Amino acid sequence: GIQVEQSPPDLILQEGANSTLRCNFSDSVNNLQWFHQNPWGQLINLFYIPSGTKQNGRLSATTVATERYSLLYISSSQTTDSGVYFCAVRTGANSKLTFGKGITLSVRP
């Protein structure tokens, strides 16, 4: 099956810093989503982005499908950005997503 690798596995930032999170995948995809899991376990969908670029406030994401990677940018990080960021992809016609192992982000005040 498809492989999803996220890097770096852990990231520590000072509040106000910018960061880039990367997701590489091993096959063509027709669905790619970024999620944030807060310290209480709730997963929130950040972006549905199988290709192209999207922005939502301080967050933006770019997927280059032909090169099989996606990037999540966090600007002016805040302590509330802490948590685990997951990339998930889908190949084929069904709705099954394959998740990466996640990137743990800690933003310090």
Site for other proteins in 24-53 (CB under 8 A): 31, 33, 35, 40-45, 48
- DSSP symbol at 45: E
**Closer Cβ to other proteins, 28 or 48, answer by number:** 48
Report helix, strand or coil for 38. Answer: coil
Q: How far is the CB of 78 from other proteins (least distance, A)?
A: 22
Token reading at 56: 């939502």
How many Å apart are CA 91 and CA 25, to the nearest integer? Answer: 11
Part in contact with other proteins (CB under 8 A); list of ranges 10-18, 55-63, 67-75, 99-107: 99-107
**Closer Cβ to other proteins, 35 or 77, answer by number:** 35
Q: In what order do the strands lie in the sheet with 59-64?
A: 4-7, 19-25, 69-74, 59-64, 52-56
Residue 78 within binding range of other proteins, rule CB under 8 A: no
**Closer Cβ to other proteins, 71 or 97, answer by number:** 97
